[in-house]
Amino acid sequence: MRVIVTGGAGFIGSALVRHLVLDRGHDVLTIDALTYAGCEASLRPVAGRDEHSLLHADICDKAAMDAAFARFRPDRVMHLAAESHVDRSITGAGAFIRSNLVGTFILLEAAREYWSGLDRAGREAFRFLHVSTDEVYGSLGPEGLFTESTPYDPSSPYSASKAGSDHLAKAWQRTYGLPVVVSNCSNNYGPYHFPEKLIPLTILNALAGRALPVYGKGENVRDWLYVEDHARALDLIAERGRPGETYNVGGRNERRNIDVVRRICSALDARVPTAIPRESLIEFVADRPGHDARYAIDATRLERELGWRARETFETGIDKTVDWYLGNAWWWEPLRESYAGGRLGLPAAGVADGAAAGPTAAMVAA
């Protein structure tokens, strides 16, 4: 199997590439623009292997995408490249519109042109998996779960850009017959997670004895999915998912943000004890504008139709994650040095610059 993975130097993309190459033996071409969130070091476990190559390119570059399809001749495309941090989308939405909407459009067009030239068997076997988020569904109250038929109701520039890209992907299936499958997943966590997101930032700040800022009262609920469980789900969906369908992926692990932070503190206290428990570092800060109260995924379709099950509970996954950060300072230390920290995600007047906010974020939200 020859697979193009866009965004393969990112957090989820690199977990997927490692799974496809090391566990499944596929040939993988990673396409990644190596933005602030892209990290070649996350691909170190597959570096130098014949089955993997990295193309440093922007998905908005149509000529580069056409050349990649023509040269690599994929059986499958798994599209993860995106601007992914909600707070950055509030500070500067332009990069999100460009990469998430325009980039997805260009990739769909490049895929469609390549796919149209395949023979019948090749066209039938081809799959384009568009990877998206449960944030497209908006916010839940205390009860209920997102299903594949929940109406779209995005709150942030990030989730609106992802919602738009989902519609583009579905339209390319309905209009042109391109065999597109869409997946919408909950919050991921695990190794190689860029340290601006809640879990890695909390681990690294707590280790350094720095403040642990938590938005609002930390009551917002997220449904946590271990990234390696997600990578297996994506592989299954690309292989056996029905074109035109959506598959929700979630770990059935709902937690309040404050409980996530406390759990990380206790895991670290048990491994690297300090005189004062790390919970004392928690600081409540002004909430994120438009902060969705609760996300929770019903993954029944994926479980019943494709036989997927999350292997990690939140407890086992968080312990593995803490252990990974403790043992892999080589990966995160250079990233910590490259940004200063500071609040992102408060709206700036008239920001429509098309550029990603600089790599200066260190805020706690999921």
Sites of contact with ligand NAD (CB under 6 A): 6-7, 9-13, 32-35, 37-38, 58-60, 80-84, 99, 103, 131-133, 162, 185, 187-188, 194
Q: Which is nearer to ligand NAD, 82 or 296 (CB)?
A: 82
Q: Which is nearer to ligand NAD, 131 or 140 (CB)?
A: 131
Strands 76-79 and 52-56: unpaired
Q: Which is nearer to ligand NAD, 169 or 212 (CB)?
A: 169
To ligand NAD, the closest distance from the beta carbon of 362 in angstroms equals 15
To ligand NAD, the closest distance from the beta carbon of 13 in angstroms equals 5
- CA–CA dist 11, 227 (Å, integer): 8
Each residue of 3-13: b (16+ CB within 10 Å) or e? bbbbbbbbbbb
| Whether 269 is catalytic | no
To ligand NAD, the closest distance from the beta carbon of 233 in angstroms equals 12
To ligand NAD, the closest distance from the beta carbon of 269 in angstroms equals 26
Spatial CB neighbours of 349, under 8 Å, sequence gap ≥ 6: none
Take residue 260 and report the two structure tokens written for it. Answer: 């996530």
Take residue 346 and report the two structure tokens written for it. Answer: 């408060």
Do 6 and 77 form a contact (C-beta atoms < 8 A)?
A: yes
Name the residue with tokens 């930032």.
Answer: 201
Spatial CB neighbours of 66, under 8 Å, sequence gap ≥ 6: 110, 113, 114
- CA–CA dist 329, 238 (Å, integer): 33
Catalytic entry in 32, 87, 135, 196:
135
To ligand NAD, the closest distance from the beta carbon of 303 in angstroms equals 18
C-alpha dihedral sign at 358, 362, 364, 366: positive
Take residue 233 and report the two structure tokens written for it. Answer: 């789900």
Q: Which is nearer to ligand NAD, 156 or 205 (CB)?
A: 156
Q: Which is nearer to ligand NAD, 37 or 310 (CB)?
A: 37
| Whether 339 is catalytic | no
The length of the chain is: 366
| Whether 158 is catalytic | yes
Catalytic entry in 36, 114, 137, 158:
158
3-state secondary structure of 159: helix
Catalytic entry in 32, 58, 83, 134:
134
Which residues belong to the active site? 134-135, 158
